Amino acid sequence: MTSKRPTACSPDQSAERRSRQRWMSALAKAEFGDLDALWNNLPSKPAWTVIRAPEIGMVMARGRAGGTGARFNIGEVTVTRCAVQLDYGAVGFGYVMGRNRRHAELAAVVDAIMQTPSRRDALERALIAPLCLRQDAARHERGKKAASTKVDFFTLVRES
């Protein structure tokens, strides 16, 4: 849905933005246990400095009247954010629903590394792709359970 929004940047920038949105989404939606385990398995990790220590706050979730109408506030969600800088300069941000500080920090570190072209592909394979795969599988599983409850209507034809 974000791709539908008009963007003021060049095609290259918007492609870069879309890939960043994709990995930031995968990091935010990850189960912390999955992210932590994949991170711990990485062979090499850069050093980083925390620019903004993990902070717990809220974002107001909004809906639209009738699903498509004017916006209204539903209620807040808890969010933890963090900003880090790698020793070679790249800055990363983590915005993750919930109150897990370590999750937000790891998300920020991975965001920073992913912006480093020389490291991106390896990290994509080792961390982002497996996270996406797990999220897709979980979604698929939920969808299949829901599908088992889909009604098959049948009509009885009365023979006269």
> Would you say 52 or 119 has its CB closer to other proteins?
52
The SS3 of residue 52 is: strand
C-alpha torsion angle, residues 63, 61, 111, 14 (rounded to 10): 30
Q: How far lies 122's CA from each of 22, 61, 153, in Å?
A: 16, 35, 50
Q: For other proteins, which is the closer residue by CB, 7 or 41?
A: 7
Residue 52: count of CB within 10 angstroms of its CB: 14
Q: Does 79 bind other proteins (CB under 8 A)?
A: yes
Beta strand segments in 46-129, E: 48-64, 71-86, 91-97
With CB under 8 A as the contact rule, which of the stretches 31-39, 49-57, 116-124, 126-134 interacts with other proteins? 49-57
Per CB under 8 A, does 93 bind other proteins?
Answer: yes
Indicate which single residue of 47, 147, 156, 157 sits in contact with other proteins (rule: CB under 8 A).
Answer: 147
Shortest Å distance, C-beta 44 to other proteins: 27
Q: Which residues bind other proteins (CB under 8 A)?
A: 1-2, 5, 7, 17, 20-21, 24-25, 28-29, 55-79, 81, 83, 93, 95-99, 139-151, 153
